[in-house]
Amino acid sequence: MAIFSLDEDIARLTVNGSCALIDSEDDDFEQETSGEIWHKNLLSVGPQPEQPSSQVHLSIPSSSPLNISKERRRSSIYDKMSVVTPPNTRRVQMTQAEPMGTGCTCSTATLGKHGPRVLEDFTPIRVLGRGAYGKVLLVKDSHTNRLFAMKQLKKAEILIHDESSMFESEEYALEKKLERTFAERTILSKLEHPNIVKLFYTFHDHHQLYLVLQFIPGGELFYHLKEQGVLDEDTVAFYAAEISSAIKFLHQRGIVYRDLKPENCLLDERGHLVLTDFGLSKKSASDPASQTDGIELQEGEPVETLYSIIGTPEYCAPEILDGKPYTQNCDWYSLGCLVYDMLTGKPPYTGPNHKVILNKILKDKGPRIPTFSSEGMKDFLGSLLRKDVLKRWDVDRLWAVDGPKPKKKKAGQAKTTSFQSHFIFRKIDWTKLESGELQKTTNGPILPIITNWELAENFDTEFTNMRLDSAGGCIDPKQEVKPEHAHLFQGFSYVASSSYLERHF
């Protein structure tokens, strides 16, 4: 019998280049190769002939936009700094009620369609991404057949105390983790902007928290930068305008984003940018709890002084890394880093580890602006990438109006002209952009190729090829949530109104 079994295996063997694939019929078959999980190739392909290698070595100037290291496009999703929060910071009280969203008036007949959700209401399709606390899945609602992105956070990972936090007690560290966990749900449930991701449902079970978000099929800006290398200035200016509109919208509502980077910028089906992942965002504690989305803070008003050392070093403002107090102006420095990245193929400062990056940022006078950029782009980057906050462009105050002109121009002075009227935005219709009309009626510079939304073609195959049962790993019995911790997650559940759902589908 062993001989016949071997013959059958050989008959199923397919040669693919320099390796052999066995079309196994066993669904549980799994093999590890070079530390990566082997997965079955469901589409059999014929052998591909090897092409003779003929390499041509070209000498490219270091200042050229073509001189890009392919190794640099490594995601920083796993490289966030451990959060250091001083013990004297202000705290936000968590509401213990289980709200039903903003005006959810679902009738009994449509309760199954628009009512609260549980995990069993969604069918997982494929993995979209994975981070330190959990993963993001593409799921389908069994009631409406709509596609969503489901962000899953492990409760046990949130409750575990990080021993490296020398300056924080276990109770205080847990309080801050819970505050950041609730921040994304609290902030997104009150926002509606064309360039900010939409939140539709949140719920939780014994092991995990779930945020059901709008599925953005165009994938991460990081993915497109990895494919294209660099972007032209008109494309960079277009996406910088959309990001700026979202950031200004957040600042007007007392919210600091604090985690702007290519991985958190998605492209929708029309090629417009959508900001996502608000896990590190901070809402002003001075903002009254009763304040609604329609009441805005005064133009240019600082969002309380913050102290937490938080974010991704390559895109982080120097004052955060240096442990100094900071305000919402840190987001505009991060915008400068992202624009620099889109133009050159890498952020202003890179290095093999956090220590090297921090030393470069804190010791250098400022990043080197690429010489191949236009004068307008050099001026834009130079005004945002200032280490000294007092010399950095105060975009919130000078969003649409010019400031007072200095009597004498001095080198290194902060820019005093309007942000919207800058030369690089000469092709941007700000009225249509901020109203959302531009996003609904036109296509962006990068139009993602989408043949089937369920295939998630614009997401990295590192994630989309993962087996669903291996994406999250097994739950460690030692990391079970204790009964005395169950009350900590009360108030997390949420469901958007039926009108909100219909408006965005």
pTM attached to this predicted model: 0.76
Backbone phi, then psi, for 494, in 5-degree steps?
A: -160, 150
Q: Give residue-wise pLDDT tens across range 266-283.
A: 999 999 999 999 989 998
**In angstroms, rounded to a whole number, what is the distance separating the alpha carbons of residues 148 and 125?**
10
Backbone phi, then psi, for 37, in 5-degree steps?
A: -75, 125
pLDDT band at 479 (very low <50, low <70, confident <90, very high): low
pLDDT band at 482 (very low <50, low <70, confident <90, very high): low
Q: Are 196 and 264 in contact (CB under 8 A)?
A: no
> Would you kindly state where each structural domain of the chain is located, as residue ranges?
111-216+455-503, 231-441
Angstrom distances, CA of residue 493 to CA of 95, 113, 117 = 11, 17, 9
Q: Give pLDDT, residue 203.
A: 95
Which of the two residues, 53 and 481, has the higher pLDDT score? 481
Please state the rounded mean pLDDT for residues 419-441.
95
Q: Give residue-wise pLDDT tens across range 166-181.
A: 456 777 778 888 888 8
Helix, strand, coil percentages, rounded to 5, for the chain: 30, 15, 55
CATH tag, 111-216+455-503? 3.30.200.20
Task: Judge whether 259 counts as a catalytic residue.
Answer: yes
Q: Give pLDDT, residue 504.
A: 81
Which residues are part of a known binding site? 151
Q: Is the pLDDT of residue 213 over 90?
A: yes
How large a percentage of the chain has pLDDT more than 90? 47
**Four-residue CA torsion sign, 274, 277, 282, 283:** positive
CATH fold for the domain made of 231-441: Transferase(Phosphotransferase); domain 1 (1.10.510)
Which of the two residues, 39 and 139, has the higher pLDDT score? 139
Angstrom distances, CA of residue 291 to CA of 243, 287, 303, 327, 466 = 25, 7, 15, 20, 43
Highest mean pLDDT: which range of 40-44, 63-67, 175-179, 440-444: 440-444
Q: Give pLDDT, residue 301.
A: 43
**In angstroms, rounded to a whole number, what is the distance separating the alpha carbons of residues 117 and 127?**
20
User: What count of other Cβ atoms lies within 10 Å of the Cβ of residue 233?
Assistant: 18
Residue type present at position 52: P
Q: 137 forms bridges with which residues in the sheet?
A: 127, 150
User: What count of other Cβ atoms lies within 10 Å of the Cβ of residue 63?
Assistant: 12
**In angstroms, rounded to a whole number, what is the distance separating the alpha carbons of residues 409 and 395?**
19
Radius of gyration of the CA atoms of the chain, in A? 25
Highest mean pLDDT: which range of 109-113, 174-178, 455-459: 455-459
Fill in the DSSP letter of residue 343. H
- Beta strands per DSSP E along 289-433: none
How would DSSP label each residue in 432-499? HHHHTHHHHHS--SS----S-GGG-TTS-HHHHTS-HHHHS-PPPGGGPPPGGGGGGGTT--EE--HH
Q: For residue 447, what are its two tokens?
A: 């139009």
Q: Give pLDDT, residue 157.
A: 83
Catalytic residue chosen out of the listed positions 121, 259, 341, 396 = 259
How large a percentage of the chain has pLDDT more than 70? 67
Q: Give pLDDT, residue 79.
A: 56
**In angstroms, rounded to a whole number, what is the distance separating the alpha carbons of residues 333 and 193?**
22
Q: Is the pLDDT of residue 197 over 70?
A: yes
**In angstroms, rounded to a whole number, what is the distance separating the alpha carbons of residues 333 and 195?**
19
Please state the rounded mean pLDDT for residues 305-310.
87
Q: Give residue-wise pLDDT tens across range 372-416.
A: 999 999 999 999 999 999 999 999 999 999 888 877 666 678 889
Q: Give pLDDT, residue 112.
A: 54
Pairing of strands 199-204, 208-214: antiparallel
Which residues are part of a known binding site for ATP? 151
Q: Do domains 111-216+455-503 and 231-441 have the same CATH topology?
A: no
Q: For residue 60, what are its two tokens?
A: 């490219």
